[in-house]
Structure 1
Amino acid sequence: MEGAKQKSWAGSKEGEQVKRTSVLRAAFTSRQGLTIVDNKFHTAPIKIAKAFPLDGQLGIIVMDVSPGLLSGDRYELLWTCGDDSHVMITNQSYTKVHPSKVAEDSSMLQQFVLAPNAVVEHMPEPVMLYKDAAFRNETRVEMQQGSVWIQGEVLCPGRTMRGERFDYRSYRNELSIHYEGELIFFQRQQIDPANHAITAPGCWEEMSHSATFYVFSDRVDRSHLELIQQKLDRIVSPEGHRIVSGASMTHHYGIVVSALSTAAWPLQQLMRELWETVRYALLERPPLRFLQQP
């Protein structure tokens, strides 16, 4: 189903801006070993641009036909994955966050609901925060026995080729993971460049871009952490773009990798290599070549 763009009123004062909420919902099911779209719904400007089979799993590409998130815009995406379904989700281009007026932050909520033995590989393009942008990003994951959730994300400090570097107003990022109803992981990040000593020792220092790789499943054990650490130990930083990284296991069923560099593309490459490592070790599947860069 497709619908016109929805609007939710933030207040009733004369002249107050209408805040826009855009919704994308999709449910997936596995039939005879193949994952298919069971149902979907969207309101402009976000939609599923393409869904295509990938050797038993399903590839999903999300498209945003607008210039990006404008002041007060909110995106809500809900992904529901049935028993034994396997979905890879990405998007066509960077998530671009434009300048936000005071008290009109842009925001995004993504929810992943995984049934037993469902697999979601979420590998979006980087988030780009323009000058004066204020962005709230929240991700909620609900998992069941045997399910797997993988995500790699990259954050850019602005349009660096235009001289923007931590010129956005604020960035708030929150992730919660539930396993069979129990909260097993919670992370909250807040960056206010005007109030934080971004370049201080022990903070960002000379780095500008960050990335985080997550894998959560009751199948995860220390052997997977060792494989990831071996991969990180072999990473050679490209000339002019030093990469620093670290990996650790969470309290329950997870591994988190954090990395910093001075450009997006080295971190994107790192996310792909970690994804390939985990995909082969945990899922016994080869890389998805259609996402590989030349």
Structure 2
Amino acid sequence: MAAASLTATGFYENRSGGSFGRRSELYLSSCMRGEKAVLDEVHFTAPFKVMEPFDGEKGELKVMILSASPGIMEGDVQAQHFHVGRGTKLEVSSQAFEKIHKMKDGCARRHIRICQEADSFLYYMPQPAIPFKNSAFDNIVEVKLQNKTSQFIFQDILSCGRTAYGERFDYQYYHSLVQVWREDRLIYRDNTRYAPDILCMEETGMYEGYTHLASLLLCGLQKDNEWADKVRTILETTKDVEGGVSFLASGDATVRILGRQAQQLQELCKLIVGA
């Protein structure tokens, strides 16, 4: 993986620092061998590890990213790159809820790059993130889809903090930029910048009294109005959640759900994807 390709945002010009003395990197690449999808390249540095992949019920290759760290610490800099080869189907998840720990003066940063070839499928579904009190986190996700046959699902769940400890939106900031290109054309851009000291996160238009927010993006799956009606029915008949579904100008779909339990939102996302 070329280091220069990961410095476009300016995040990763310095390769030293952080809990592990250098930038933490992960690279995964898939390809077809005969009729079977395999990982043909796997590279990682501490704290990342990758569990032995296994086949799912629908022919997808399930990959779980492991971490030897208790969570994201001050000064951590992470770079992840996923290449999804032609004809392969991947489901990528993480080991446990992502704890973003308290920070004194600095922040933590992560840059994820995803490249998908034609006739590929990726369901990227990391575990929910929990920003601790005084944490500060910058996250960038860049996705490049070769064409409309490149199917991509992105699931992201962010909590308000450690509610059991009385922490609700006590973090310094949480910045997340997600951009998706198809055939070199930008089709989706979500620039989330939560700063509780500036924004009232509890009010209308934000979390509205809820504790968790799930964001679901579905590209290339040809979802239609009938599917959207099913999703709205699911949301309306599920207790203690609020949400909505909308279509992008490209025809792709996005769903947002507010709730109070991460596991409930995970199950809802799975149900919506399969609707």
Q: Give the TM-score of the pair, scaled to structure 1.
A: 0.83
Give, in angstroms, the shift of residue 155 of structure 1.
Answer: 0.5
Inter-partner Cα distance in structure 1 for 2:141 and 2:86: 21
The residue that corresponds to 1:39 in the other structure is 41
The residue that corresponds to 1:167 in the other structure is 170
Give, in angstroms, the shift of residue 224 of structure 1.
Answer: 3.5
Percent identical among aligned pairs is 24
Inter-partner Cα distance in structure 1 for 2:156 and 2:23: 23
The residue that corresponds to 1:117 in the other structure is 119
Q: Secondary structure at the match of 2:153?
A: strand
Among 86, 90, 112, the alignment partner of 2:89 is 86
Alignment pair present for 1:247 and 2:245: yes
**AA aligned opposite 1:185:** Y
Contact 1:130 1:159 survives alignment (8 Å): yes
Give, in angstroms, the shift of residue 139 of structure 1.
Answer: 0.8
The residue that corresponds to 1:142 in the other structure is 144
Q: Secondary structure at the match of 1:93?
A: coil
Name structure 2 gaps, 5 residues minimum.
1-13
Inter-partner Cα distance in structure 2 for 1:224 and 1:9: 47
Among 77, 80, 84, the alignment partner of 2:80 is 77
Cα offsets for 1:49-100 (capped at 9, x unmatched): 2311225321100001111110010111111011111000001101111112
- CA change 1:180–1:268 in 2 (3 A) is same
Inter-partner Cα distance in structure 1 for 2:110 and 2:180: 17
Name structure 1 gaps, 5 residues minimum.
1-6, 11-15, 278-294
The residue that corresponds to 1:9 in the other structure is 16
Q: Secondary structure at the match of 1:186?
A: strand
Name the Cα RMSD after superposition: 2.0
Aligned counterparts, 1:53-72, within 5 A: 53-55=55-57, 56-72=59-75
Inter-partner Cα distance in structure 1 for 2:225 and 2:119: 20
Give, in angstroms, the shift of residue 18 of structure 1.
Answer: 8.6
Among 15, 19, 23, the alignment partner of 1:21 is 23
- CA change 1:34–1:70 in 2 (3 A) is same
Inter-partner Cα distance in structure 2 for 1:197 and 1:19: 36
The residue that corresponds to 1:258 in the other structure is 256
Among 182, 191, 198, the alignment partner of 2:185 is 182
Q: Secondary structure at the match of 1:75?
A: strand
Q: Give the TM-score of the pair, scaled to structure 2.
A: 0.88
- 4+ aligned runs moved over 4 Å, structure 1: 16-19
- CA change 1:71–1:33 in 2 (3 A) is same
Q: Paired residues, what number?
A: 260
